[in-house]
Structure 1
Amino acid sequence: MSGQRAPTKVVFDLGGVLIDWDPRRIFQQYFATRGVMEEFMTQVFWRVHHECHDTNAPFAETIAPHKQAYPEYAAAFDAMAQHWQQALIGPIPETVAVLNDLAARGVTLYALTNWPAQTWPPTHPNPDDYGFLAHFKDIVVSGQVQLRKPDDAIYALAMQQFGLAPGEAVFIDDLAVNADAATRAGMVGHQFLSAAHLRSRLVGLGLL
């Protein structure tokens, strides 16, 4: 990091870092075997999810053309539209503890998440579990801004909205492609592997 300022702020991804989730929880009852469900997930769901994800339109509206294209999956698509929150398992306590420790030290915190506008903020399984979101000074939600990681535009928007200078913030994401994109945008990208690994990195940076 020679020639760069030491980071003093932290930007968190949410899903897979602070909030555990698995969309398979929505679909289990609609497929005869796990293998069939995995085929749906791989070949259909993730593409449809990304296409429907980052828009303000109701899920039922964005999913309609996919139901026509894949009528055999119509019930699963309806479940996706009606029960998306069921994919949420809840906060990841070990990472929330890291967040709480950062907040206790007065570190300025932000979040940048790929999350549907239609289901923001998270409420399942217990809305009271998400009080830690109050630690964030600001949150950019992909569905609200109609951009998504790892596109360069959402990082530029977040840095401008958060008022971040290059090198001023660490960005934490469970996907390497998203962390790498943050590094290109001027943040210090860190791939989240575990809370313990993250804590060690933040200690090394002088943030904890």
Structure 2
Amino acid sequence: MADQSVRAVIFDLGGVLIDWNPRLIFQEHFATHGVMEAFMADVFWQAHKACHDSDAPFEQTLAVWRDSHPHYTDALDAMAHHWDRAIMGPIPETVSVLDALVARNVPVFALTNWPAQTWPPRMAEGMTPSGADDVFGFLGHFRDIVVSGQEKLAKPDPAIYRLAMTRFGVGPGEALFVDDLATNTRAADEAGLVGHQFLSAGHLQGHLERLGLL
């Protein structure tokens, strides 16, 4: 039976509506895949989180890792100056689901872990599809967007879900939260949202149909 209490949908962006792969920033800086994966595990994800927690320029935030891991200086410089290389563009199938919700006047919002320094998203020069006037124009569908880097909070911290619920005007059980990471959807459930792990646009559409939103 459809849960009639769900009246709004909150989307994550990266991995749900925007295709991104941070390894694209670094692939020319490492001789082997294994060395790059060691960098990702040892440095990148910690440094990435630090960039969310600070509104300072990336280069300043990353200085601590440059000092402690001088052999990764080139990769850290690439992270500081070429973040847009990770952005591969919209995921069109999910954008179509978003469009369908908007057409039915379902309130839609976004909650994203995204550094303030690189918001709003943009693609690297030469990567934008030919003829696309505004490749991320679908962001205009959202009634509000909570960006972690602007709030100095990030998923799965319960505080960012509470902030989003207040900003979006939704109460417990009233909004479906769509994220590709199970850690984030579980935290959303605990905060009072209805978590849904994103697996594919088709899977999401079917779930929205069962909820009576599509």
Is the pair's TM-score, using the shorter chain for normalization, greater than 0.5?
Answer: yes
Structure 1 unmatched runs, 5+: none
Q: Counterparts of 1:33 and 1:186 in 2: how far apart (Å)?
A: 44
- How far residue 43 of structure 1 moved from its aligned partner, in angstroms, is 1.8
The alignment partner of 2:110 has SS state of strand
- Tell me if structure 2 keeps the 8 A contact 1:6–1:205: no
The alignment partner of 2:89 has SS state of strand
- Tell me if structure 2 keeps the 8 A contact 1:116–1:143: yes
Normalised by the size of structure 1, how large is the TM-score?
Answer: 0.96
The alignment partner of 1:56 has SS state of coil
| Aligned positions of 1:27-46 closer than 5 A | 27-46=26-45
Q: Which amino acid aligns with 1:7?
A: V
Structure 2 unmatched runs, 5+: none
- How far residue 54 of structure 1 moved from its aligned partner, in angstroms, is 2.9
Q: Could you tell me which residue of structure 1 aligns to residue 8 of structure 2? A: 9
Q: Is 1:130 matched with 2:136?
A: yes
After superposing the two structures, state which structure 1 stretch, 154-163 or 50-59, moved more. Answer: 50-59
- Tell me if structure 1 keeps the 8 A contact 2:51–2:149: no
Q: Could you tell me which residue of structure 1 aligns to residue 62 of structure 2? A: 63
Q: Could you tell me which residue of structure 1 aligns to residue 165 of structure 2? A: 159
Q: Which amino acid aligns with 1:135?
A: H
Q: Counterparts of 2:177 and 2:139 in 1: how far apart (Å)?
A: 16
| 1:175-204 per-position Cα deviation (integer Å, ceiling 9, x unaligned) | 001011111111110000000100000000
Q: Counterparts of 1:6 and 1:205 in 2: how far apart (Å)?
A: 9
Q: Counterparts of 1:195 and 1:44 in 2: how far apart (Å)?
A: 32
| Aligned positions of 1:78-157 closer than 5 A | 78-124=77-123, 125-126=127-128, 128-157=134-163
| 1:3-57 per-position Cα deviation (integer Å, ceiling 9, x unaligned) | x852010000000000000000000111011111111111221111112223211
Q: Could you tell me which residue of structure 2 aligns to residue 177 of structure 1? A: 183
Q: What is the aligned-residue identity percentage?
A: 61
Q: Counterparts of 1:89 and 1:97 in 2: how far apart (Å)?
A: 17
Q: Counterparts of 1:75 and 1:202 in 2: how far apart (Å)?
A: 44
| 1:135-163 per-position Cα deviation (integer Å, ceiling 9, x unaligned) | 00000000000000000010011111111
Match of 1:204 among 186, 190, 210: 210
Q: Which amino acid aligns with 2:121?
A: P
- Tell me if structure 1 keeps the 8 A contact 2:176–2:195: yes
Detail structure 1 runs of 4+ shifted over 6 Å in the superposition.
none
Q: Counterparts of 2:102 and 2:166 in 1: how far apart (Å)?
A: 22
- Tell me if structure 2 keeps the 8 A contact 1:20–1:90: yes
Q: Could you tell me which residue of structure 2 aligns to residue 18 of structure 1? A: 17
Q: Counterparts of 1:159 and 1:57 in 2: how far apart (Å)?
A: 27
Normalised by the size of structure 2, how large is the TM-score?
Answer: 0.93
Match of 1:168 among 168, 171, 174: 174
Q: Counterparts of 2:188 and 2:54 in 1: how far apart (Å)?
A: 22
Q: Counterparts of 2:134 and 2:23 in 1: how far apart (Å)?
A: 24
